[in-house]
């Protein structure tokens, strides 16, 4: 029983379909209603209408995401896996961000990407432990973050939190012992997914065997999705992984992240990021947020005509 958060394209789409191919029931959420509705229709035709569900929600909003978790519990009964993609969220840019020396512009964009990755991971870590955590009566599970690979390039400005440090903090043994939610991260692979380029989409209505011309691309797409899920199930809590040039998954260590958070990247790796707080781990911590999320969820049910029934 899984939740996938992120626009269903590229790497996110590969992981989403890998979940369905192994028999998981999936509720996926993204803010692009057009892309989400089309993908739900396509996936339902391939895997059945009772295997995949779609919820239109702003993935940057904590309240909207909480309403997705509430709907997932109502629809699926429980949640055992959450896949959260930050790699395809649109950046909120100003005109000033795109002016000046191109090297500085690129550095600024990479820094914004890393900051977005970290903020999304913290938000999803809070929600995953709240709605899968043993401390709230659930069974625990897995939180798999799909992050951009911006921090691995070394182009981002130093001084901010890193994806690696945040992953390590969310996966500390003392936290895992309380809530039972294993957190891992896989960085976006540097390959060309056909549905993100002008090439013909390879995921339209196909199952294997594929035609000769797209066999390799189809294999690569399925392989990256499968391997992301595999490392999510078998990897140690708090670890981050990246595809190398041969598309082998290797664990990312502090020396692989050129930038540092300004405190000490190795300290974050071994002791956990001090910016990741513990106080929101329990379900009754913020009543106002819960009420607002419930209102959003009920509004969505009204739109679908469920409450009228």
Query: Domains of the chain: which residue ranges?
Result: 2-304
Measure the CA–CA gap between 90 and 238, rounded to whole angstroms: 26
Per-residue model confidence as pLDDT tens digits over 101-133: 666 667 777 777 888 888 889 889 999 999 998
Taking Cα atoms as reference points, which of 103, 117, 121 lies closest to residue 157? 103
Per-residue model confidence as pLDDT tens digits over 2-48: 999 988 888 898 999 999 998 999 999 988 888 889 989 989 988 88
Measure the CA–CA gap between 161 and 309, rounded to whole angstroms: 47
Cα end-to-end span (Å), the chain: 25
How many Cβ atoms from other residues are within 10 Å of residue 180's Cβ?
A: 17
What are the φ/ψ torsions at residue 34 (nearest 5 degrees)?
A: -65, -50
With a CB cutoff of 8 Å and minimum separation 6, the contacts of 75 are 27, 53
What are the φ/ψ torsions at residue 82 (nearest 5 degrees)?
A: -125, 125
Residue in this structure with the two tokens 């005509």, named with its chain if needed: 305
Task: Give the single-character DSSP code of 199.
Answer: S
What are the φ/ψ torsions at residue 257 (nearest 5 degrees)?
A: -105, 105
What value, to the nearest 5°, has the Cα angle with vertex 122 and ends 225 and 221? 10
Measure the CA–CA gap between 6 and 13, rounded to whole angstroms: 9
Q: Is the distance from CB of 162 to CB of 254 less than 8 angstroms?
A: no
What are the φ/ψ torsions at residue 144 (nearest 5 degrees)?
A: -110, 115
pTM comes to 0.78
C-alpha distances out from residue 298 to 67, 70, 194, 288, Å? 9, 10, 37, 15
Per-residue model confidence as pLDDT tens digits over 40-82: 998 998 888 899 999 988 888 888 888 889 988 888 888 999 9
Q: Would you state the CATH architecture of domain 2-304?
A: 3-Layer(aba) Sandwich (3.40)
The token pair that represents 297 in the structure block: 């969820």
Per-residue model confidence as pLDDT tens digits over 233-250: 999 999 999 998 888 899
Angle formed by the axes of helices 102-132 and 163-170, to 10°? 10
Measure the CA–CA gap between 134 and 178, rounded to whole angstroms: 7
Q: Is the pLDDT score of 231 beyond 90?
A: yes
Mean of the pLDDT values across residues 200-218?
Answer: 48
Chain mean pLDDT for the chain: 77
């Amino acid at each position: 029983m899984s939740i996938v958060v992120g626009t269903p394209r590229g790497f996110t789409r590969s992981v989403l379909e890998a979940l369905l191919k192994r028999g998981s029931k999936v509720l996926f959420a993204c803010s692009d209603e057009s892309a989400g509705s089309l993908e739900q229709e396509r996936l339902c035709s391939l895997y059945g209408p009772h295997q995949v569900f779609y919820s239109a929600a702003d993935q940057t909003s904590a309240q909207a995401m909480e309403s997705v978790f509430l709907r997932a519990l109502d629809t699926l009964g429980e949640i055992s896996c959450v896949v959260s993609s930050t790699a395809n969220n649109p950046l909120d840019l100003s005109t000033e961000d795109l002016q000046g020396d191109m090297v500085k512009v690129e550095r600024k964009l990479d820094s914004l990407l890393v900051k977005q990755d970290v903020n999304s991971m913290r938000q999803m870590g809070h929600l995953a432990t709240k709605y899968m955590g043993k401390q709230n009566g659930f069974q625990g599970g897995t939180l798999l973050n799909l992050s951009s690979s911006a921090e691995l390039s070394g182009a981002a400005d130093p001084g901010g939190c890193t994806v690696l440090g945040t992953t390590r903090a969310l996966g500390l043994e003392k936290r895992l012992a309380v809530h039972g939610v294993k957190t891992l991260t896989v960085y976006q692979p540097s390959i060309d997914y056909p549905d993100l380029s002008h090439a013909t989409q390879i995921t339209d209505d196909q199952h294997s065997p594929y035609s000769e011309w797209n066999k390799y691309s189809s294999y690569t797409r399925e392989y990256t999705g499968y391997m992301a899920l595999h490392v999510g199930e078998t990897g140690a809590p708090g670890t981050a992984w990246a595809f190398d040039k041969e598309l082998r998954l290797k664990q990312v260590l502090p020396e692989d992240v050129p930038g540092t958070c300004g405190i000490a990247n190795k300290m974050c790796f071994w002791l956990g990021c001090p910016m990741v707080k513990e106080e929101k781990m329990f379900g009754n911590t913020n009543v106002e947020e819960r009420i607002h999320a419930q209102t959003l969820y009920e509004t969505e049910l009204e739109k679908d005509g469920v409450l009228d029934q």
